[in-house]
Structure 1
Amino acid sequence: MNNIQEKNNDLYNEILTLTKKLVSIPSVNSTGEGEREIAAYIETYLRAFPYFEKHPDQIIIQNLKNDKLGRYNVFALIKGEKSISQDTILLHGHIDTVGVDDYGLLSKFAFNAEKLMEKLSELDLSDEVRADLNSGDYLFGRGACDMKSGDAVFLVLAKWFSKRVNEFSGNILLSFNPVEENLHTGMIDGLEVLTELKEKEGLNYLFAINNDYICPLYPNDKTRYVYTGAVGKLLPCFYINGKETHVGQCFEGFDASMVAAELIRIINLNCDFCDEYRNEYTLPPSVLKIKDLKMSYNVQTAVSAFIYFNYFVHNTSMQDIINKLTAAAKQALNNVQSNINEQYKAFCKISGIDYQPFEYELQVLTYDELYTTAQNKYDGDISKILDDILADCLADNTDKREIPLKMTQKLFDIAGIKNPSAVLFFAAPYCPHNTIHEEKPQQNALYTKLKNTINEFTIISGEKYEIKQFFQSLSDSSYLTIDDDDASIDSLLKNFPAFSILHPVPLKKIKNLAIPAINYGCFGKDAHKWTERVYMPYSFGVLPNLIEYTIKKFLIF
């Protein structure tokens, strides 16, 4: 066995062992204890490196701000000593997972990879899952794919590089963050450390590599995808106000629930809303919440309703998105009015009643327009009213989507609007979109060198690689750089109630850091499903070599 094979076998076995250990720590998002435990384990693992025994101050622990669960980030800086260089590559990964309810009766085994696979072998599985389980090439378990295997790869490679600091110039910075699976506050708070290190150490961030999972895009897809950016995400919300009526006079009202349903019909899974950039398309919007706002049962139709959507973005400006969404709301209101009159006309015909159509002055506003309207109608301090609502809701731990709804409702009342209306606003989370722009001269050099690196490694490894611009699964990479211009950001902030409190993304800090965000990732299947699994031959055997090859290409060896 040659030295390269021995090295690869040693790395493979250590990554496998470490992945199983990380999986065994139940770091389910928002439960606290597990997220603290896995961070503590990673810190202990790093401090055992001889390099960090010599440089203990280069491990940085950052407690998350105002985090009631006591979660924290772990950073570690490895400085190359071959020659002086400030060039730095960031390796970052999240350490939390989604829950395990999807495992059902197997939930108690979800964090024990070996035991889980034993239990799975006894079940009636699909042909694909059965084949993968029997192959011995896949490791099952919550977080095995998303993304504790990716963390393990980084940690084992960090140990390897820390023993060879005299062979390279520049720096390798590791970042392990909780809270990725919902609000991304680990990475968002971590931007402070990235900024401080940039200023204190003079670091020049070349790019970041995320190791979040990659997966087949179609059946039997063996392509290993490299993503040069991250999809953006918005949460557009609609407050809908109608006109209530008794069910005994049902045609005399304007049911807000009908508008909500019609708006969902227009927007949900509608590919006309897919955002295209250089022939890559986002997935269409998906409805995530719909409810009327009646507090209890009665025979009155719903006067108000609330809905929100997941909305992916590649490149479209915020104003264009707002225009498209408000146009959909206008269409929904008009369609409901037409439907009411069509059905009333049919009822009048069968009942022998004279038909007179109902006519309403329909209205669609953005939050910014509603605020201005309310301000013009009110002599007092509107900001004080909204601040009080915000404070009360935060004290009651109100959901972060419901707080801007309550603020919108209050403004609507102050504005005195009585006709059927819809108000568009945005709520958390917001994920900026970004990519490395091949067509822009200042980014072309990085893109070209990365592309050449991948092409060279394709020949070395025999794997099939394809570079794509946007990682479609939401990730912390969104918060490292932002492609939205100032006008788009301004449009977002004007229509995002209490942004600085409810979702304090430091947009200026992201703009200043501007770290290009790449995703390599372990290859696996069924993330967020009870059949989640990582493909070990690639993830533990090939991927570490790709990361090593990339680092060597960009840091002077």
Structure 2
Amino acid sequence: MNLEKLKTRINDIVLEYAKTVTHTGTKLEKNSEEFFNKWFKNLKEISKLPLDYGIYPCKDDYLERSVAYSLIRGKSKKTVVMIHHSDTVDIEDFGKLKDIAYDPEKILEKYKSGEVDLISEVKNDLDGKWMFGRGICDMKAGGSIQMALMEEYSKDENFPGSLLLAAVPDEENLSAGMRTLTYILDDLHKKYDLEYILMLDGEPHMREKDDEMIIYDGSIGKVMPICLARGKLTHVGQVYQGLNPISLISEIISLTDVNPMFIEKRGNTVSPAPTWLYSKDRKYVYDVSLPISAGAYMSVLPLSRTPDEIMNELKNISLKAFGKVIKRTDESYKKYLSFYGEEGEISYPPKVFLFKELVDEVKKEKGDIEEILKDKENDLTKKVFDGEISIPEAVFELIESLLLNYSYRGPVVVWGMCPPYYPSVNNMELESGEFMNSVMEKTEKFIEDEFSLKLKVQNYFTGICDLSLAMLNLSDESIKYVEENLLMWNTFPLALDLIKKYSMSVLNVGPWGKDLHKYTERVNKDDMFKKIPEIMDFIIKEMYK
């Protein structure tokens, strides 16, 4: 490859790509279609290899977004899949500079002029070695490197393998693009019998040391357990005749928040303890009654634990919490009665269900209720996509609709999984794990010899990324569990069977970046123009050997 020409081409692509406004979660994401149609035209003109490319609509997407993909077929059906996300976060933090937030050249000049308050570290990076602008680092630099490399490879009639590039929307939100890529992989496999061997993401890395770059060979998972506690309604003046669901939720939170039993160490990565993101009663007006129910949801970031293992552990903890609340309430009641010289007892059976368990319980009483739940979910899905309610709110309402059909009217705790769900992934989960380790050893030597840099291979990217949907190592039983307990599936449909079928190795190799999602977001030019293109090229060619 002519590196000088490659540098020029990356620069041309990234400047045009950055100026293509693709604000996540809005119809502005569709602007990428025009950008890619123009790029496809150029690719078609220069390619000497068979091409397949297009704009593939995201399935049932309320914003009608699409995945832009292009495939070159070389000497082998072994296929490396290069992905990057085309959406960027908003520009509100740019303040009065919002009009030029997407223009790297203009924003740099403004920062140099001294009109904007910048900390010393940012001022030091105005030395011409960094490119600034919204989305430039996260992650249009990585995407531009991939596109320039594909152009180069397409000119080589003897290119040793096949290469698929996909620009996916919605990474910053619910991964509609990555979920759609699963179907593209299936279509192209059926068409060309491709063998997918690696998914190569170009997300930036943040360096801990200036002389040490980071490559990720996995990504942490995300499970969002959601809990609804129904109490027993009563007037506050007769508090012992009811049970406060806030007390139930509070005890569950107390026993689970930052609970160290959920911390995992795998490879060189340690997962953080779980924490709660939301907790509130389900009371919408003031009165002097106890709330009938309270809801909460939390975040669990697993490295190897499966969703069913996590949810069953939460259920067991909730049973203990339920027992503690009943015991505490009963002791208070006994103390209260003692002032009257009376005796009494408060006792409720500790009823804690996973969503599917409660469905089965209600079906015993009323027969099949699947249609009722399906109709409710369809109504709630429309409200979510119309912006009327959030996905967690929809989940709470779905659980409440199920409880309305349950004959037992006493206190109950119900658990489900709220979208989004991301499996944890790492190359050690696949048979190709040892081969990938050897590729990383060779890459480490290449980086040291070529750039005098150290390489740190981090086993899990802990910021959540689309690579989580590149492989699936769950058992059939665990997959069934996710399908039955991930609520509001219509808002986050996952083709788990296809993800498992096309499971491939993963790597995240991206340029050095700083201040992602901030107005000082920037990417290192030497990484963007030289180091990362050469490293990606080295890895891709190693994969075909």
- Give the TM-score normalised by structure 2: 0.90
Map 1:43-122 to 2 at 5 A: 43-49=37-43, 51=45, 58-80=52-74, 84-120=75-111, 121-122=114-115
Q: Which residue of 2 aligns with 1:143?
A: 135
For 1:28 and 1:208, the matched residues in 2 are separated by 25
SS in 2 for 1:307: strand
Query: Residue type of the partner of 2:13?
Result: L
1:447 matched to 2:462? The reply is no
Q: Which residue of 2 aligns with 1:225?
A: 214
Q: Which residue of 2 aligns with 1:393?
A: 380
What are structure 2's unaligned runs of at least 5 residues?
A: none
Query: Residue type of the partner of 1:31?
Result: T
- Identify which of 452, 465, 471 aligns with 2:455: 465
Percentage of identical aligned residues: 27
Deviation at residue 313 of structure 1 after TM alignment: 1.8
Higher mean alpha-carbon deviation, 454-463 vs 22-31, is at 454-463
Contact 1:47/1:56 (<8 A) preserved: no
Deviation at residue 485 of structure 1 after TM alignment: 1.7
What are structure 1's unaligned runs of at least 5 residues?
A: none
Q: Which residue of 2 aligns with 1:371?
A: 359
1:182 matched to 2:173? The reply is yes
Q: Which residue of 2 aligns with 1:410?
A: 401
What are the Cα deviations for residues 219-239 of structure 1, in whole angstroms up to 9, with x where unaligned? x56532211122221121101
For 1:474 and 1:442, the matched residues in 2 are separated by 23
Deviation at residue 127 of structure 1 after TM alignment: 3.4
For 1:224 and 1:357, the matched residues in 2 are separated by 64
Deviation at residue 258 of structure 1 after TM alignment: 3.2
Q: Which residue of 2 aligns with 1:254?
A: 243
For 2:212 and 2:134, the matched residues in 1 are separated by 24
SS in 2 for 1:396: helix
Q: Which residue of 1 aligns with 2:469?
A: 479
Query: Residue type of the partner of 2:6?
Result: L
SS in 1 for 2:457: strand
The change in CA–CA distance for 1:414 and 1:182 in structure 2 (over 3 A counts) is: same
Q: Which residue of 2 aligns with 1:297?
A: 286
Contact 1:46/1:52 (<8 A) preserved: no
For 1:77 and 1:327, the matched residues in 2 are separated by 49
Deviation at residue 543 of structure 1 after TM alignment: 0.5
Q: Which residue of 2 aligns with 1:497?
A: 487
For 1:116 and 1:339, the matched residues in 2 are separated by 60
What are the Cα deviations for residues 139-188 of structure 1, in whole angstroms up to 9, with x where unaligned? 2222121111111111112222223x134221121111111112211121
Higher mean alpha-carbon deviation, 355-364 vs 96-105, is at 355-364
Higher mean alpha-carbon deviation, 542-551 vs 319-328, is at 319-328
For 2:286 and 2:32, the matched residues in 1 are separated by 46
Deviation at residue 479 of structure 1 after TM alignment: 1.6
What are the Cα deviations for residues 189-216 of structure 1, in whole angstroms up to 9, with x where unaligned? 1222212222221222221110012113
Contact 1:230/1:433 (<8 A) preserved: yes
What are the Cα deviations for residues 92-139 of structure 1, in whole angstroms up to 9, with x where unaligned? 11101122334444444432333434444433333333333x333222
For 1:124 and 1:252, the matched residues in 2 are separated by 60
Q: Which residue of 2 aligns with 1:211?
A: 202
Contact 1:168/1:555 (<8 A) preserved: no
What are the Cα deviations for residues 400-419 of structure 1, in whole angstroms up to 9, with x where unaligned? 33333323222222222333
- Give the TM-score normalised by structure 1: 0.88
1:27 matched to 2:22? The reply is yes
Higher mean alpha-carbon deviation, 100-109 vs 528-537, is at 100-109
1:201 matched to 2:192? The reply is yes
Deviation at residue 284 of structure 1 after TM alignment: 2.5
The change in CA–CA distance for 1:327 and 1:555 in structure 2 (over 3 A counts) is: same
Q: Which residue of 1 aligns with 2:498?
A: 509
Q: Which residue of 1 aligns with 2:369?
A: 382
The change in CA–CA distance for 1:128 and 1:257 in structure 2 (over 3 A counts) is: farther
Query: Residue type of the partner of 2:160?
Result: S
Contact 2:218/2:425 (<8 A) preserved: yes
For 1:145 and 1:345, the matched residues in 2 are separated by 63
Contact 1:79/1:169 (<8 A) preserved: no
The change in CA–CA distance for 1:298 and 1:401 in structure 2 (over 3 A counts) is: same
Query: Residue type of the partner of 2:59?
Result: K
Q: Which residue of 2 aligns with 1:159?
A: 151
For 1:54 and 1:361, the matched residues in 2 are separated by 72
SS in 2 for 1:97: coil
For 2:322 and 2:282, the matched residues in 1 are separated by 18
SS in 2 for 1:182: coil
SS in 1 for 2:157: helix
Higher mean alpha-carbon deviation, 180-189 vs 277-286, is at 277-286
Deviation at residue 335 of structure 1 after TM alignment: 4.1
Higher mean alpha-carbon deviation, 317-326 vs 43-52, is at 43-52
For 2:44 and 2:498, the matched residues in 1 are separated by 34
